[in-house]
A and B are shown apart, each in its own frame.
Chain A
Amino acid sequence: MSTGAAPSARIVSLLELADEDPTREELEQYLGDPAPEVRRTALSVLSDTAEDWAEASPVFAVALTDEDPAVRYAATKLVRELSEVLVPGPEFDAALRCAAAHGDAVVRLEAIDALWRHRLTTVDELLDLFADPDVAVRCEIVLGFVSLDALDALARAAHDPEPAVRLAVARGLGSVGDPRGVTTLIELATDPEYLVRAGALSAMAQTGCSDDAAHIAVSALGEEAWEVRQGAANALSAAAPDEHGTTVLVRALGDRNLDVRKAAVKALGAWLPGRPDVRPALESALSDVDATCELMPG
Chain B
Amino acid sequence: MAQATHRIDVPVSVDQSKCIDGCTLCVDVCPLDSLAIDPETNKAYMHVDECWYCGPCAARCPVDAVTVNIPYLLR
Contacts and interface: CB of A to CB of B under 8 A. Distances in A.
Does B associate with A? yes
User: Contact residue range for chain B?
Assistant: 10 to 19
A8 interface: yes
A44 B56 CA distance: 11
Interface in B12-40: 20-25
A15 B25 contact: yes
B34 to A, nearest CB: 20
Interface residues of A, number: 12
A37 interface: yes
Interface string A68-97: 001000100100000000000000000000
B54 interface: no
A70 B60 CA distance: 11
Interface string B31-75: 000000000000000000000000000011011100000000000
Contact of B23 (A12, A70, A77): A12
B63 A37 contact: yes
A40 B62 contact: yes
A77 B20 contact: no
Task: Name the residue in B24, B62, B64 with the highest tally of chain A Cβ atoms < 10 Å from its Cβ.
Answer: B62
Contacts of A37: 62-63
A41 interface: yes
B55 to A, nearest CB: 10
Contacts of A74: 59
A154 interface: no
Nearest to B22: A12
Contact of A11 (B23, B59, B64): B23
Contacts of B22: 8, 12, 15
Nearest to A70: B64
A70 B63 CA distance: 10
Given A11-B20, A15-B23, A77 B59 contact: yes
A8 B59 contact: no
Contacts of B21: 8, 12
A74 B64 CA distance: 12
Contacts of B25: 15, 41, 44
Given A15-B25, A44-B25, A38 B20 contact: no
Contacts of B20: 8, 11-12
Interface of B: 20-25, 59-60, 62-64
19 contacts: A8-B21, A8-B23, A11-B20, A11-B23, A11-B62, A12-B20, A12-B23, A15-B23, A15-B24, A15-B25, A37-B62, A37-B63, A40-B62, A41-B25, A41-B60, A44-B25, A44-B62, A74-B59, A77-B59
Interface of A: 8, 11-12, 15, 37-38, 40-41, 44, 70, 74, 77
The 8 closest A-B pairs by CB, nearest first: A37-B62, A12-B22, A8-B20, A41-B62, A37-B63, A11-B62, A40-B62, A44-B60
Given A8-B22, A15-B22, 15 more contacts: A8-B21, A8-B23, A11-B20, A11-B23, A11-B62, A12-B21, A15-B25, A37-B63, A40-B62, A41-B25, A41-B60, A44-B25, A44-B62, A70-B64, A77-B59
